[in-house]
Each structure stands twice: as structure tokens, then as C-alpha cells.
A = this chain, B = another copy of it.
Amino acid sequence: MIRNTRQRTAVNAVFDELEGFHSAQEVHARMRASGDSIGLSTVYRAVQALVDDGELDSIRTDAGEAIYRRCSTRHHHHLVCRSCGRTEEVEGPTVERWADRVAAEHGFVDVTHTLEIFGTCAACHSAGAPSADQPG
């Protein structure tokens, strides 16, 4: 049985006030800084529970850190500036259909996918941003 605790409510509330993706550690620090008393383990347990609940989305950074965000109602993907981290939500039936079709052609069922697009945003580009490669 799942209880309503001050801590879980507070973690959930943090994501109401926050745009974009944030790590468990960042949420913990933020709460501590604003006077909320909560343990780091509890934050980890809370975000995991929220992910299981479908309240939060989670993705993993290139560095391997898990970051979380209030789940929006629509299925979408992310366009991330690799220089400043600015994130845009993008969506489109094209890629959804393609993924489902190609999986079905290989006999796969119960199909999901992850898709992230990386680039340099217009602002960072005019400022002269670095670059990277990522085949695969």
C-alpha cells in the first residue's frame, strides 16, 4: 500500500515549478536550499515511483545521469542544444509509424522507442559554438 508522505508530495510539487529535465541530485539540493528537509535516498525513491506512475519522464544524459521531467500528455521527443542545453519538444507521426513498422517487419511486438535529436541552436551557432559527432 502506497502512503502519502510529506516528502513524496514535495518532490512531486518540485516538478510543477520546474521546466525541463532535472536530476534527482539537483532536486534534492533545490529542496534542501529552500528549507525542505529530505534525504537523498528518498528523492531517488520518489522520482522512481513517479516514473513508475507515469507522472515523470526520464532520460539518461550522455554522461549517464538520469534526469526527470513532468510527463506531458502527448508522446514527443526532444531536440537538445549540445551547447546550452536548451530543449525543444518535437513530435510527428512520421517517425512513430516508421519505428512501429520496422519493428513489426522484424517480428517484434510490444514496441517502444527512444529518440533524441542533438544540434546547435541558432543562438549558440551565431555565438560560435563547438561541435560533436554521434553516428549509430
Contact = CB atoms under 8 A, between A and B. Distances in A.
A103 interface: yes
Contacts of A71: 135-136
Contact of A64 (B64, B79, B94, B95): B64
A44 B109 CA distance: 35
Most chain B CB atoms below 10 A, which of A79, A108, A112, A116:
A108
Interface stretch (A6-14, A22-30, A34-42, A52-60): A52-60
A81 interface: yes
11 contacts: A60-B64, A64-B64, A79-B108, A107-B121, A107-B122, A107-B125, A110-B125, A111-B118, A113-B118, A114-B118, A115-B115
